[in-house]
Structure 1
């Protein structure tokens, strides 16, 4: 599954509907060691007007339906300081 291509295809909808400023893929999908049962790890940055728990959950549910897989969605502001260097070193941001 080409997660990045799917995200790119939907990036304008993600921005309009959920206020996504940036979204990137990391983890097994980027490293190339994903298995059929692997989840999709995504790092997201919301516009300041869209930072809410409800919006976060709606985006998470939307992405799980889009991919047909469990999604681990993490915000850039909620990224643990111990994990941050590892995630930032492998995240592939969805660019235009």
Structure 2
């Protein structure tokens, strides 16, 4: 199963896990969003954080998503993006 199919198949579970950690507006960016992902590519998620953020954020969210998806995951927040990459990431980010 390719990454796109994996994300489509697990979409509701991904959103539920994100919500458990206080995250919403879940998007993918990087090679997955650009359609350049390889079989061994990680999945880069961009999220916004609500007031009910898990005390384990982002580690708990990353671990839960890695367990669900069976591959390496990175999580970034809109506010945590470095200025030099912010515009590019926000432009290429695709809603889950």
Structure 1 length-normalised TM: 0.83
Tell me the equivalent position of 1:66.
68
After TM superposition, the structure 1 = structure 2 runs for residues 1-96 of structure 1, keeping only pairs within 5 Å, are 1-2=3-4, 4-6=7-9, 8-10=11-13, 11-15=15-19, 17-50=20-53, 52=55, 54-94=56-96
Q: Distance in 1 between matches of 2:46 and 2:30?
A: 10
Structure 2 length-normalised TM: 0.83
Alpha-carbon RMSD: 1.8
1:40: Cα distance to partner?
0.4
Count residues with an aligned counterpart.
Answer: 92
Q: Distance in 1 between matches of 2:61 and 2:9?
A: 14
- Per-residue Cα deviation, 1:18-75 (whole angstroms, up to 9, x for no partner): 11121100111111111111110110111123164x2311001011111111111111
Structure 2 alignment gaps of length 5 or more: none
